[in-house]
Structure 1
Amino acid sequence: MRNRGVQAGLLSALLFGAGTPIAKLLLGATNPWLLAGLLYLGSGVGLSLWQLARRAPRPHLARAEWAHLAGAVGFGGIAGPVLLMIGLNTLPASSASLLLNAEAVLTAVIAWVVFREPFDRRVGLGMLSIVAGAIVLTMQGGVSLGSPWPSLAIVGACLCWAIDNNLTRKVSLHDATWLAAIKGGVAGPVNLVLALVLGAMLPSPGNVAVAMAVGLLAYGVSLVLFIVAMRYVGTARAGAYYSVAPFFGALLAVAMGEPVTATLAAASLLMGIGVWLHVTERHEHSHTHQPTTHEHWHTHGDGHHNHEHDDPLPAGTRHSHPHAHAAVTHTHSHFPDAHHRHTHNRHSHR
């Protein structure tokens, strides 16, 4: 739990999960597609203003990284919401909530199979336990899937977001706030325009302001934290922590007057077991870092950043600049973070 990625992943889930009951209150007066646009827009505008206020420099992305970011925005910010709204148009909300759990599973499968992110039985069981808890929580009102096409559209949205997560991980060393602002700044206007073209009407100014404020926290700040989590623990593990979001949403619903149910207790137990399996993971083996040069925020003394500066820095100073990593082979406990994307021939988990 002392790992920054674990903390960021759970806090990201807390913000997104807490925003869900509030967003549901707005659905009575707002078209779902239009609401999605307002939520993304609130994220993009709010984070962009924060970037301007702190005069943050724009990160320098390589050509391949721009391609990864463009793919993440296209899949996650445009295609995903469109497919989601197609599915929600005829599918009951309870069924959609159940199918949306596929995002975490697909994120992990792509990370493990396509991008070769390491995992073991303990991590896999933890992932299954967390997703099982989310499924239990979303099935408490009953589920009726009906026609397969809307269901396939929801699963397609989950696949788009899973691809988005894995592509975003490729650029996760860069300023997370800037990355989230870009994604919200594109997805918000696109979804808003599509909803208006299809006949949706803007709600009252008060509801617009509330939706954008919820979007800033539940979509914007939550996404910033999710990117940080991917940077420190990898895509699959960050996705697993993010899957705890329905639990936090249910807790807020209880605080707003809904009763505590046996379903909530069972889901809490399953998710608790899954998170415990993840946070008690210990992955340690001799591994080799290949020489590389890149730029990101870092501090010295973490075992990977010990380069020299012309002007000495005080210990623990967080700074960003292009720097080189020499080849090194060593042994220590680690997650599949941005500096540990090596292959595994022989390894041990504890």
Structure 2
Amino acid sequence: MPDHTHSHMWPGVPLALASAILFGASAPFAKLLLDSTDPQLLAGLLYLGAGVGLSAVHAGRAVLGIVAPEAPLRRSDLPWLAVVVLFGGVAGPLFLMLGLSQTSASSGSLLLNLEGLATMGIAWLVFRENVDQRLLLGAAAILAGAVVLSWQGQGVRFDRGALLIAAACLAWGIDNNLTRKLSSADPVLISLIKGLAAGSVNLALGLARGADLPSIGTISAAAIVGFLGVGVSLVLFVLALRHLGAARTGAYFSLAPFIGAVVALVLLHEPVTAQLVVAGLLMGIGLWFHLAERHDHEHEHEAMEHEHSHVHDEHHQHVDDGPATEPHSHWHRHEPMRHKHVHYPDLHHRHGHRHS
């Protein structure tokens, strides 16, 4: 029987919003650390903090005998993982740190909304993920907020800091869409590999340029910010991708800049300007459009086989070999079926759409 016990928003939307809160709050703290740290070194330290922290979590699971009900990474996943590390772990954080060093933390935080637009645009135009009118209206409002934020005197001017942050958002937009291809695998393993690999590259490049390592206290602070704002946030983001798809996860992740801007105003005592308020309102309207979406139509599932963490719900009616606890992960087959319910483009709803 169909299982509609939980809202269609559960657990994808809470996962995406929690990821956004952690990442958004990390930007102002990173801005503080830039006062005593080279931008490229800080990008490396943040991701190494994420990788080391998640490695401890992964090792702790093994020591305690906690079996994560997740699918393993396969050889066919490695090329995608390498590109994800390059765009999302090396280029994105480096551009962000360079951009934050040349603009205010509150403005930089709000400009991170462009990541959601980049993610949605790539998902829609390149990967043909369904995007409806509400998502487009929300995207337009967010873009308008970014324009207001960049308005200087007689027109829009993206200074060097803003352009670098926009480049970071584009890199993460590519990263988010490619990470979707890995989202059925263990998110802790994906995130720790990304953190260790990307962090090592940026740290090595920064040291090769002659940058000096900061104090132990600064390194420790960067590790904590990286573990929470990058590592844990990324684990939650990968899980959200599994349930929502790239466009909608990016849309909900648009909450991150508001969190960052508010933390920056309190933490760094930056001024509250009319420009900032108007931009925040426009971006808030955009987020509301995203939250108000309801995608419901009759759709058909083709036969497919894959592996991921699951429970025996309406999409998983197969028989297991022997008793099994839920959730669990194993290779399983989906038989063709046709039904109607509210859904997102998750692992089981990546069908096409016909529009009249």
Conserved in 1, the CA contact under 8 Å of 2:43 and 2:94?
A: no
| 2:291 is aligned with 1:282 | no
Write the letter of the residue equivalent to 1:169.
Answer: R
Residue in 2 that maps onto 1:171: 182
Cα distance in 2 for partners of 1:109, 1:254 equals 30
What do residues 46-95 of structure 1 show as CA deviations (whole Å, max 9, x unaligned)? 0111011012578433443222222111222224345556x649x83258
Secondary structure of 1:305 counterpart: coil
| 2:331 is aligned with 1:341 | no
| 2:254 is aligned with 1:243 | yes
Write the letter of the residue equivalent to 1:174.
Answer: A
1:5 to 12, 22, 27: 12
Residue in 1 that maps onto 2:4: none
Residue in 2 that maps onto 1:124: 136
Q: How do 1:94-109 residues align onto structure 2 when only pairs under 5 Å count? A: 94=104, 100-109=112-121
CA pair 93-277 structure 1, distance change in 2 beyond 3 A: same
Residue in 2 that maps onto 1:44: 51
2:21 to 11, 14, 29: 14
| 2:337 is aligned with 1:325 | no
1:202 to 207, 210, 213: 213
| 2:76 is aligned with 1:69 | no
Which consecutive residues of structure 2, in runs of 5 or more, have no partner in the other structure?
Answer: 1-6
What do residues 260-296 of structure 1 show as CA deviations (whole Å, max 9, x unaligned)? 5544543443333223222221111221112121111
Residue in 1 that maps onto 2:103: 93
CA pair 66-112 structure 1, distance change in 2 beyond 3 A: same
Conserved in 1, the CA contact under 8 Å of 2:150 and 2:157?
A: no
Residue in 1 that maps onto 2:193: 182
Conserved in 1, the CA contact under 8 Å of 2:109 and 2:261?
A: no
- The offset of 1:139, in angstroms, is 6.5
Secondary structure of 2:297 counterpart: strand
CA pair 135-8 structure 1, distance change in 2 beyond 3 A: farther
Secondary structure of 1:202 counterpart: coil
Write the letter of the residue equivalent to 1:118.
Answer: N
Residue in 2 that maps onto 1:294: 306
Deviates more, 1:34-43 or 1:261-270: 261-270
Cα distance in 2 for partners of 1:101, 1:273 equals 13
| 2:36 is aligned with 1:24 | no
Cα distance in 2 for partners of 1:138, 1:249 equals 17
Conserved in 2, the CA contact under 8 Å of 1:81 and 1:191?
A: no
Secondary structure of 2:278 counterpart: helix
CA pair 283-124 structure 1, distance change in 2 beyond 3 A: same
Conserved in 2, the CA contact under 8 Å of 1:92 and 1:144?
A: no
Conserved in 2, the CA contact under 8 Å of 1:99 and 1:155?
A: yes
- The offset of 1:146, in angstroms, is 5.4
Cα distance in 2 for partners of 1:96, 1:20 equals 8
Write the letter of the residue equivalent to 1:296.
Answer: H
Conserved in 1, the CA contact under 8 Å of 2:109 and 2:260?
A: no
CA pair 192-214 structure 1, distance change in 2 beyond 3 A: same
- The offset of 1:335, in angstroms, is 0.7
Deviates more, 1:199-208 or 1:68-77: 68-77
Residue in 2 that maps onto 1:253: 264
Write the letter of the residue equivalent to 1:163.
Answer: I
Conserved in 2, the CA contact under 8 Å of 1:250 and 1:264?
A: no
- The offset of 1:253, in angstroms, is 3.0
Residue in 2 that maps onto 1:234: 245
Deviates more, 1:59-68 or 1:175-184: 59-68
CA pair 140-45 structure 1, distance change in 2 beyond 3 A: farther
Report percent identity of matched pairs.
Answer: 53
Write the letter of the residue equivalent to 2:103.
Answer: A
Write the letter of the residue equivalent to 1:27.
Answer: L
- The offset of 1:250, in angstroms, is 2.0
Secondary structure of 1:93 counterpart: coil
Cα distance in 2 for partners of 1:5, 1:305 equals 18
Cα distance in 2 for partners of 1:203, 1:70 equals 29
Write the letter of the residue equivalent to 2:351.
Answer: H
TM-score by length of 1: 0.86
Cα distance in 2 for partners of 1:71, 1:318 equals 30
Cα distance in 2 for partners of 1:11, 1:132 equals 25
Write the letter of the residue equivalent to 2:27.
Answer: T
- The offset of 1:100, in angstroms, is 4.9
CA pair 206-226 structure 1, distance change in 2 beyond 3 A: same
